[in-house]
A and B are shown apart, each in its own frame.
Chain A
Amino acid sequence: MAALSFEFPVYRYESWWQFVSVTMESEACDQEDALARHNAWVENIMCPSAF
């Protein structure tokens, strides 16, 4: 059997994103280690010579 494929279209869905982004922010607030990692990331971004 040769290769075959099946494709499903998925559309951008604004309401979904609004819900998820709020959920992510909420989760970030509950996780100190996650926030620490994000802070470290921001520092890295602002000081690219550091890596």
Chain B
Amino acid sequence: MGLLLACALPIRARVIPRRALECDATRAGTRAVVQHTQAQEAVFAFCRRESARVPALPAETRRTARNTASQLAESLDIAYNAENRQEYTARNAHDHDYWIVFDTSSPLRRQMIFASAFSSVSLRYAKSYFAPAVPPERTESELERIQYGIDHEADAVEHVRKKYDFVLVPPDHVKTFTRLHPSVPRVLAGSADAITTCGVLLEIKCIQTKDGFFNKIGNLGRKALDDYVDQVRALLEVYNLPLGLLCYWHGGSEGDGSAFF
């Protein structure tokens, strides 16, 4: 996209080198607006990669991440199948030898700072890492966007799973629990959208409209991370994992055109 921004040739007359796109995705480029047609071409070129791969990590880091995911899956399985889930997970919450989790329906959630508080969107509302005593009022369109994300998160996770050929820790187990930071349990908590058995954390952002998607990815590239990168970093701390993927997903709709991934 960096080349896209610098070049004034019409989009059809130009072949976009993949390397240029990847290069741009690794640095913070200048913020400029490109046409949607250009943004679409750039995004599609990236999305159509035949086999998506997660970035390579050192062998030792990969091994540790896999072990961590394995321990997490085991403890979540125990907690998920506990007869009295809330009581069981709360009872274990102060046991530092245990993976500290509690049910997402637990009132304990209200006492915590959540990884999501690190997104610039949340900070704009709360002006603080702590959740405000009174929840902020949201506009109808904001509520609609939030609901869209809730409704489609599972679809997005499945899409990314297939794209990367991931094997996931059971998503319903992951989504049921909140984890406390192992060394700062009084302060930070978080809930991952998904975790792979190889120890990659997935944070899903569902973008409701086609224009919204291309504005976010096509025009901003790496800068699209700005709003949520700290949230992912906080989740990585909470789950003790080395790598996360911030996944922007758009569900598409009929009549949007013939381009697809």
Contacts and interface: CB of A to CB of B under 8 A. Distances in A.
A14 B250 CA distance: 32
Given A24-B113, A28-B187, A38-B111, A1 B257 contact: yes
* Chain B interface extent, by class: 35 or more
Contacts of B55: 9
Contact of B233 (A17, A40, A44, A49): A17
Contacts of A34: 130
Contacts of B112: 41
A46 B247 CA distance: 38
Given A24-B113, A45-B93, 15 more contacts: A2-B261, A3-B155, A3-B261, A4-B249, A5-B250, A7-B52, A7-B164, A8-B225, A9-B55, A25-B187, A38-B111, A41-B112, A44-B108, A45-B108, A48-B87
19 contacts: A1-B252, A1-B253, A1-B258, A2-B260, A3-B155, A4-B249, A5-B249, A5-B261, A6-B248, A8-B224, A8-B225, A9-B245, A21-B184, A24-B187, A27-B130, A28-B187, A37-B111, A41-B186, A51-B106
B44 A4 contact: yes
A48 to B, nearest CB: 4
Contacts of A20: 118, 230, 234
A41 B133 CA distance: 15
A2 B224 CA distance: 22
Contacts of B233: 10, 12-13, 16-17
Nearest to B253: A1
Interface of B: 25, 43-44, 46-47, 52, 54-55, 86-87, 90-91, 93-94, 106-108, 110-113, 118, 128-130, 133, 155-156, 159-160, 163-164, 184, 186-188, 203, 210, 213, 217, 222, 224-225, 229-230, 232-234, 236-237, 241-253, 256-261
Residue from A13, A28, A33, A48 whose CB has the most chain B CB atoms within 10 Å: A48
Contacts of B256: 1
Nearest to A43: B111
Given A24-B188, A44-B90, A10 B232 contact: yes
Contact of B230 (A4, A8, A16, A46): A16
A42 B113 CA distance: 14
B47 A4 contact: yes
B243 A4 contact: no
A3 B159 contact: yes
Given A6-B43, A34-B130, A41 B244 contact: no
A28 B112 CA distance: 11
A45 B44 CA distance: 49
A6 B93 CA distance: 36
B246 A5 contact: no
B164 to A, nearest CB: 8
